Structure 1
Amino acid sequence: MTDTTVEPKAATRTPVSVTWGVVRTMRPRQWVKNVLVLAAPFAAGMLFSGDTAAALAVAFVAFSLAASGIYLVNDAKDVTADRAHPTKRSRPIASGIVPVPLALGVATALLLGALGVSFLAGPDLAIVVAVYVAVQLAYCFWLKHQPVLDICIVASGFLLRAIAGGAATGIALSQWFLLCAGFGSLFMVAGKRYAEMMLAERTGAKIRRSLEGYSASYLRFVWACSATVLIMTYCLWAFQIREEQPHNTVWTMLSIVPFVVAVLRYAVDVDNGNGGEPEDIALGDRVLQILAAGWLVMLALAIYL
């Protein structure tokens, strides 16, 4: 499956370096994506109801364990290619600090742990986590380099996180929520791939293999279509809230403004080639943070006031 025999001679293993290498490969910084489990309870107005907090904590931990396990599998699977890459060769597994068998062993423990933890919130969450693990493993071993399928699978990771919040708390997911979450995920992933292609064209860096099956115009097409559907479905959802809660009409309608502007602002960052990782944009663009905060406040007033 992978080349585990040729390791850089400079790699020095100590208990501390190996442990730290495993932690780095788990990418705990990426756990910020798992706050998406809060989306469904928040949108349903049940974020502070009953045992919701405990169930969401379980969902957050389960997805954090699952995602870290997938990262370990992915880096172990790609160890040979990463050793030939100018930057990825410094990753703990590629550099020889973390042995491949150890990485796969820790990954197995994390994935089984994710499934076990998810049962604390019920079988529905366990099913969502199992689907996430199965889809991501298929991505790592077979589908990573398949055009269209690769961006759909990456987008599904965001969507399944949003679905997990409803599954953990027993909240029924509305059609508008699923559409916004689905096309919002596709918008971010297509934008990420487009930004990677633009960066490669400007710097001459080698692009990932999956991008060889795309053109910049096609990625812009997917990106633009996703943004259009995302904005349209959010507006329709806002109109639905107005009908169900007419006393909060003003906040529902006003929330459309920062939402649309935030989408357009995010698109500017992507178009400039700065959209390598969605979390990097979210943490690095102060204006986008202000728009997101304003949108959340208005939406909270519309739902909870």
Structure 2
Amino acid sequence: MRDQDPITVQTVAGDDTFLVTSHLGRSGSDELVVCFGYQGTGIAPTGFGIDFLTQRGYDAVYVANRWKSSYQGLSAGMLADVLAPLVQGHKVFTYGSSLGGYCALYYAGVLSARALALSPRNVLCPRDPEAFDPAAHPEWTHKLHLTDVPQSPHRPTIVFDNMHPRDSSFVRTWALPAYPDAREVHVPLSGHHTGPRLHAMGKLKGLVLAMLRDEALPDRINGFPEGSAQLATVAFREAMSGGDPVQARAAAFGIAGAGASSTVLKHIWKFAMAHKDLELCQQLVNAAGSAQHGGDLKATGILRAGRKMGLTPTV
């Protein structure tokens, strides 16, 4: 950790839709990290990432937006103008999660920044830009495509759940056309909450600091403990997509024995039935019969199907 400095907090710009606030140490740092609030945070002088960064000696800027405005009141050009005096002489990063991750990518170009975007998404962003009617959606003021705003000379880092259909689609259709060389870090089964999942595992801090220090980043981070049902589920899905039923079966046994949800058990049951695997079926019946799933409809369905095969819980 760098030596801590007294922090000077100043309002840089703002109106009724956004607020830009600087958090600068007395001696300054070579890096400036521009952080963006996620949906629901509202207008405030500090928020996502600021304490973490300033406590470690990094200069930072917090960009807040009015709740549900999705930063539509702040164009890329406006942010570039208000931050011009601050970014000069700095190595600039943009950082955010969810809506903030969208912003980290959207504004990176005008700031020539290195973006770190966690699960980027903007719920107002049109799903089908080609059919977008501006008259019907006057609240949307940003460019429709990321390719329509200036591109940063630095490849961004996008951290997301590659198994999450909506987030994967947003990365694929919105972010990657502008940055085909983007560095992807996958956190399977973290859902849209990649940042909180990594934080819960104590892995977010190392990822952010590695980014700021230009250190190598992994292509994948496990967001769940070893031996967990979630990691076994990841292994099962990857084995299935790779056409490897042997590895899929091994992972399925791990799922059955690791306290998986009844939804996952039901999915694995279909695999076991398709392969006429009585040993795996017995393990799934045992799992469905545990106290964890008492009264659950999916678990009850597995138990009912098991009884028709002569299988009852043995543990």
The TM-score bracket by the shorter chain reads under 0.3
Greater fraction helix: 1
Q: Which has the larger radius of gyration?
A: 2
Greater fraction strand: 2
- RCO comparison, higher one (Cα < 8 Å, 6+): 1
